[in-house]
Amino acid sequence: MSTSISITLDDEILRFIDERSRDRSRFINDLLLAEKRRVFLKELALAYKEQANDPEFQEEIAICERFYCMLHVS
């Protein structure tokens, strides 16, 4: 789904876009999707770091790993 909007851009920015693409909307969408992905991956990395430094979470992981090993012992 897409929505048509009106935005104001500096002339310099508009020239920059026009020099690189014939489809302004596609160009702007691609830039914003790349930024959205970058922010998501940054937030995900931060969440993983927080998990790695959370002793309570690490204990839960250790319990799960012990249980998994018990189930798969030959």
Structure tokens at 23: 């489809």
Q: What is the pLDDT of residues 11-20, one digit of tens each?
A: 999 999 999 9
CA–CA distance, 13 with 20 (Å, rounded to integer):
11
Structure tokens at 25: 């909307």
Q: What is the pLDDT of residues 2-38, one digit of tens each?
A: 999 999 999 999 999 999 999 999 999 999 999 999 9
Asked if 20 and 26 touch (Cβ cutoff 8 Å), the reply is: no
pTM of the predicted model as reported, rounded to 2 decimal places: 0.70
27: exposed, middle or buried (C-beta count within 10 Å: 0-12, 13-18, 19+)? middle
Q: What is the mean pLDDT of residues 49-63?
A: 92
pLDDT at residue 74 tops 80 = no
pLDDT averaged over every residue in the chain: 94
Q: What is the pLDDT of residue 72?
A: 77
Q: What is the pLDDT of residue 67?
A: 87
